[in-house]
Amino acid sequence: MCSHKQQRNIPAPSPCAGKAPLSRLLFLASPPPLLPLGRSPRWEPQAGSAEEDGLCSERYAVFQVCRQWATAVSSSSVWHFTEISCDSEDEEGMLQSLLQFLSQIKRLKIVFDQSKEVNRKNVTRILDVLAKQNHKLQQLCIVCHGENPYFYSGQDILQSIRNICDTENQIDLQHIDFRQMPFTLDDELVELVATSNPNLHSLFINNRTLVCNVAPGTIRKVLRACPKLSALGVYYASLSDDVFQELLKPERAAFTHLDIFCERLDKYIPVISEELWAAVSQKHPQLCVDLEFDHTVPACKIPRILKLNIPVSTLQLNTYNYMVNQIRFVTQSYSSTLKKLTLQTTSSEDLNSSLVDLARQCGKLLEIHCYCVVSQEVVEAFLAHCPSLKQYTLKVTKERHPWKPVTVQ
């Protein structure tokens, strides 16, 4: 079903005799802003829940209740923050009712199961209508939560994105998030996105596909075309000394968030020097860096990528290797900046000892997730020494996966 929900309560119209109250038929639960305007965008898109999808039929029914209700739902402010979920075949009527309001949307999140052709067609249809009608769109996030069919590379979706970036459309996007859109992006598309949206504030293209086809030269062009860009998500392979030199230019506006995905191809490229990291951190003192290491990264490459002067806020070591030395380095280097740590590693007494030391040193930690068995001492150390801790995944005995985090009250 193609469902949609808003982030703002709708003014109640005049009561309609004999009808159910309006509050029962509208989405009242407000999702977080699609792409935060703050210093460090950390919002992670989530697929719509079954409960949210079920409300879509009630939302659709509002249009057919009476004129007052239809008028209330048609208010342009209602549509400024919109999420659309496409997950079923029986949605033509719903889609038709939605299309007439697409021109009012400012912040849009599209969630869909790309394994079904009907969903892909509906998403391309929505994007193509946006390209023709919507000159107000500022933020775009696309989330896929299915499996790609064999030999499917998302070219239909990517072409619709190109249509949105057509210079004749006058759309001026400020925030773009493709982190959960698993289609390989290339230099041409990324450059088109940047040059057609010079007021971009954030751009996330680190979408974890098997191959990175975005060269460092393209990222330099992005930074030049978008002088207001303050948040960037890329593959490590898309970074270079020249990219960092672009960030060091005197006229460069404040840069606050760098989200980096490291994967197997990084073993073939030069690493960013400690001197360049230090210079960028000094030029942009508010910079926060998120680093994720895929399991395909060779263990010997990780210490070369991790540098003393990186202001690491979030670190994910999904390597399944012996990580004790890396954890000790993290404790020594990032204790003043680290807020979230995720580990996929192997159990050992040395691991327990290194985690206890990390808990004592990293007082700003908000989350710790370790997907191997640890000692009770480790759990107690994080609870005792991390006063801001909000969530942790620390198991003292083996459990059936998936392991669920504990929320600290």
Mean pLDDT per 10-residue segment, the chain (409 residues): 47 42 31 37 35 41 65 70 78 73 89 93 92 88 93 95 85 96 97 96 96 96 98 97 97 97 87 97 98 92 94 95 94 97 96 98 97 97 97 95 93
- Please tell me the distance from the alpha carbon of residue 252 to that of residue 198, in angstroms, as a whole number: 14
Q: Given this model, what pLDDT does residue 310 score? A: 98
Write the DSSP string, 312-377.
Answer: EEEEEE---S--HHHHHHHHHHHTTT--EEEE-----HHHHHHHHHHHHH-TT--EEEEEEE--HH
Residue 296: CB partners within 8 Å, gap ≥ 6? 263, 264
Q: Given this model, what pLDDT does residue 304 score? A: 94
Residue 87: CB partners within 8 Å, gap ≥ 6? 1, 2, 3, 48, 53, 111, 112, 113, 116, 119
The pTM assigned to this predicted structure is: 0.85
Q: Given this model, what pLDDT does residue 352 score? A: 98
Nearest to 142 by CA among 64, 60, 204: 204
At 274, is the secondary structure helix, strand, or coil? helix
- Please tell me the distance from the alpha carbon of residue 79 to that of residue 26, in angstroms, as a whole number: 13
